[in-house]
Amino acid sequence: MSVTIECEVLVIGGGPAGMVAAIAARQQGLDVLLADTARPPIDKACGEGILPAGRRLLRELGVDLDSERHSELAGIRFIAAEGECGAEFIGEKGVALSRLALHTALLACAQRCGVNLRWGTRVVGSENGAVKLGDTCVRPRYIIVADGSRSRMRRQLGFSDGTVRRERVGFRTHYRVCPWSAFVEVYWASCGQMYVTPVADDEVGVAFLSNDPRLRYESALAEFPALHERLHNAGKADRTRGALTTWRSIPRVQHGNTALIGDASGSVDAITGEGLSLAFAQALRLAECMKAGDLRPYEAAHRELLRMPNIMSRVLLWMGDNQSLRARTMRAFTREPGLFAHLLGVHSGALRGSRTAIPALRLGWELLTA
């Protein structure tokens, strides 16, 4: 016999986007139920760095990252055969921690807030405004879909799957080695990009992104000689995990009492490193709309939040695809060291408004003369 319950907010999906959406809604005083088929902590192959803006949003929500193994991120460094360049974040630092550690911290915060968590619970379907969770029929005031890029509930609840602009393969593993840098290091080669993130005092995470679906992590590492030299004697802390990273555009992310968030609402390529920070910002804006009783402003807010990450996806993927462009860009950054710092400020959200146009114009000039 099925049981019918009511709640103000039902969140479908318990990854970071869903967890933060639930926490943000609960902190607005709303009654929240979250359901996921998995059980915590939930892992995923990803770069595991959080930009300063994302770190700030988590702190505002009361998520305690200090209780988990983590490292502060000073900035980002690009390393390629054509040269090296790097810059520190302007103002607040970023933070890095394993996906398992992040999910554990989010879980603790959600429990403190009083989110009703239903793990190991399959979302069976939706009909006439009700959602069936196993044998329980839930009638929510609002539904938040946060079940990932390949969302099963997105189309069932009347949304389009949108357009896939680019899909790439990704891998991630951890090494038991002391970080040699406080920066996220991005290594560039013709086969793709390797990201090295210092996730703890004695551990680094390495993520690989590539257009080639046949290429595997071990084979790819040999294409990055400097990194291979550092890691070939280091012990792995876990098995290598694989995933697809998708740059997807969704035409509409809200209708009626339902909204999409995180990768379910459209995603940027993982090369930007903005996925988590973007989802956190969406969650706070959506919670404000639910508190006000009107989800319609979320559509425009979501579109604006995605504007700069979409630009960065396009630019960085161009660099990855075109060796000549990458070489010219690296030479421009080397010749004008402050330029990379300005662009990183735009990317991380520290520089906004008219100040964002200045580095773009300077970069264009440098590329013409490099």
CATH number where 192 lies: 3.30.9.10
Q: Is the backbone peptide bond immediately before 213 cis, with ω within 30 degrees of 0?
A: no
Quote the pLDDT of residue 4: 87
d(CA 191, CA 216) in angstroms, rounded, equals 11
Residues 182 and 109 in one domain: no
Q: Residue 214 corresponds to which tokens in the numbers above? A: 């046949």
d(CA 71, CA 181) in angstroms, rounded, equals 11
Q: Residue 170 corresponds to which tokens in the numbers above? A: 């990704």
Q: Residue 17 corresponds to which tokens in the numbers above? A: 């986007």
- Is residue 93 included in any domain, yes or no? no
Which residues 6+ apart lie within 8 Å of 236 measured at CB? Answer: 173, 174, 175, 176
pTM summary value: 0.93
3-state secondary structure of 235: strand
Residues 137 and 264 in one domain: yes
Residues 130 and 267 in one domain: yes
| End-to-end CA gap in the chain | 71
Q: Could you say which of 245, 267, 296 is where a domain stops?
A: 245
* Alpha-carbon distance values, 89 to 14, 65, 148, 274, 340 (Å): 30, 19, 29, 14, 11
**What does DSSP say about strands 71-73 and 49-50: parallel, antiparallel, or unpaired?**
unpaired
Residues 10 and 147 in one domain: yes
- Is residue 80 included in any domain, yes or no? no
Residues 27 and 108 in one domain: yes
- Is residue 15 included in any domain, yes or no? yes
117, β-bridge pairs: 34
CATH of the domain at 24: 3.50.50.60
d(CA 258, CA 311) in angstroms, rounded, equals 27
- Is residue 54 included in any domain, yes or no? no
- Is residue 35 included in any domain, yes or no? yes
d(CA 36, CA 133) in angstroms, rounded, equals 9
Residues 19 and 156 in one domain: yes
Quote the pLDDT of residue 359: 52
Residues 138 and 179 in one domain: no
Residues 130 and 276 in one domain: yes
Identify the domain containing residue 200 by its residue range: 165-245
- Is residue 226 included in any domain, yes or no? yes
Residues 40 and 178 in one domain: no
Residues 234 and 179 in one domain: yes
Residues 32 and 114 in one domain: yes
Residues 236 and 107 in one domain: no
Q: For residue 242, what is the enclosing H or E element?
A: strand 241-249
The number of distinct structural domains making up the chain is: 3
Q: Could you say which of 192, 218, 245 is where a domain stops?
A: 245
d(CA 57, CA 268) in angstroms, rounded, equals 19
- Is residue 122 included in any domain, yes or no? yes
Q: Residue 215 corresponds to which tokens in the numbers above? A: 């290429």
**What does DSSP say about strands 32-36 and 116-119: parallel, antiparallel, or unpaired?**
parallel
Quote the pLDDT of residue 283: 98
Ramachandran area for residue 177 (φ above 0: left; ψ -120 to 50: alpha; else beta): beta
Q: Could you say which of 195, 212, 245 is where a domain stops?
A: 245
3-state secondary structure of 370: coil
- Is residue 187 included in any domain, yes or no? yes
Cβ atoms of residues 332 and 367 within 8 Å: yes
pLDDT (tens place) for every residue of the chain, 370 residues total? 578 899 999 999 999 999 999 999 999 999 999 999 999 999 998 889 999 999 999 999 999 999 999 999 999 999 998 889 999 999 899 999 999 999 999 999 999 999 999 999 999 888 888 899 988 999 999 999 999 999 999 999 999 999 999 999 999 999 999 999 999 999 999 999 999 999 999 999 999 999 999 999 999 999 999 999 999 899 999 999 999 999 999 999 999 999 999 999 999 998 888 999 999 999 999 999 999 999 999 999 999 999 999 988 998 999 999 999 899 888 888 888 788 888 888 887 777 654 554 455 455 544 445 5
DSSP string over 107-145 = HHHHHHHT-EEEET--EEEEETTEEEETTEEEEEEEEEE
Q: Which of 145, 147, 148, 129 is nearest to 137 (CA)?
A: 129
Q: Which of 263, 334, 284 is nearest to 53 (CA)?
A: 284
d(CA 165, CA 246) in angstroms, rounded, equals 8
Q: Residue 346 corresponds to which tokens in the numbers above? A: 């735009």
